[in-house]
Amino acid sequence: MGQRLRRRSALVTGAGRGIGRAVALALAREGANVLVCDLGVAMDGTGSDQGPAEDTAGECRKLGVEASAYSADVSDFKATEEMVRACVSRFGSLDILCNIAGILRPRMIFNMSEEDFDRVLAVHLKGTWNLCRHACAVMRQQRYGRIVNCTSEAYAGTVGHSNYAAAKGGIVSLTYDVAREMGRYGVTCNAFAPRARTRLSVGDDQDQGLQKRMEAGLISEERLQGMEETRREGADPEHFAPFVAYLASDAAANVNGCVFVASRATIGVWNHPAIIHKFTRDWEIEEPWSIAELEKRVPSELLSEYVNPAPAKA
């Protein structure tokens, strides 16, 4: 048992299973008290079961900290306000917030229902915003806080997950924003993209999905191999959960607004989006850009090293 998070109070969503559970335990191992929040839903977000949250809370208590299970839906604004209030009234503060709850509803965009889009956005993006919103009100008063959001490498673009990719991209932007709004109050906000073997990432459905996409020419064999390598590199999230505990600790007081990747084998940091090539003009005296000029300059001056990720097929 470490002492780095002693007397800290943590709220972890999605803590009943997979990565959230490993993170809750890693925080508890460093002495944090934990509110274990999880609705206990199926992979697609349906159903509910208090069992997983109760189980994780029990495992945390075995480590000698205080822990309670809390069953509520992160997409519900009022319910998340209650969740934050429950943490403060149970432990006296809310020092660490880890937004990890998530679901999947993969379909190609032309087959995706509005409900599948809305639900995935509601759980990931709205859920993360809800908890940041309520936690930041408390953390601002405390002048202390650590927020760790969970994104995915899918945020940089994938296939068959337009809802999920959009939600995870939104979480990256939200993280950049919260970091800048809250840094002055002693609150940091970072995100990590995990690679782990959990029910969301490994299973017959996922294997068949990848195989089908390759057969349909949507991903190359090379890309499929790369994804399989990523999945092999992934492991029990216990391997990298200590990284989240590190982000929640005093040692990371000056780490704010970063997006990391975390797996058994790799901890990496993504670059912040930046303009890499540009051309400019004197807009006060020159005419608007002409299409003829753009046809010439965009390929040669902006996109000379660019490769289209999905060129048209005959």
Question: What positions carry a catalytic annotation?
Answer: 152, 164, 168
Q: Is 212 in the site for ligand NAD (CB under 6 A)?
A: no
The binder of ligand NAD chosen from 32, 100, 138, 214 (CB under 6 A): 100
The binder of ligand NAD chosen from 13, 162, 190, 256 (CB under 6 A): 13
Site string for ligand NAD, 137-156 (x = CB under 6 A): -------------x-x----
The binder of ligand NAD chosen from 10, 12, 27, 123 (CB under 6 A): 123
The binder of ligand NAD chosen from 31, 106, 160, 234 (CB under 6 A): 234
Site string for ligand NAD, 269-288 (x = CB under 6 A): --------------------
- 146/195 with CB nearer ligand NAD: 195
- 144/247 with CB nearer ligand NAD: 247
The amino acid sitting at 130 is: N
Q: Is 116 in the site for ligand NAD (CB under 6 A)?
A: no
Q: Which residue is nearest to ligand NAD (CB)?
A: 18
Q: Could you tell me the smallest distance in angstroms from the CB atom of residue 151 to ligand NAD?
A: 7
Q: Is 161 in the site for ligand NAD (CB under 6 A)?
A: no
Judged by the rule CB under 6 A, the positions of this chain that interact with ligand NAD are: 13-14, 16-20, 38-41, 43, 45, 52, 73-75, 100-103, 123, 127, 150, 152, 193-196, 198-201, 234
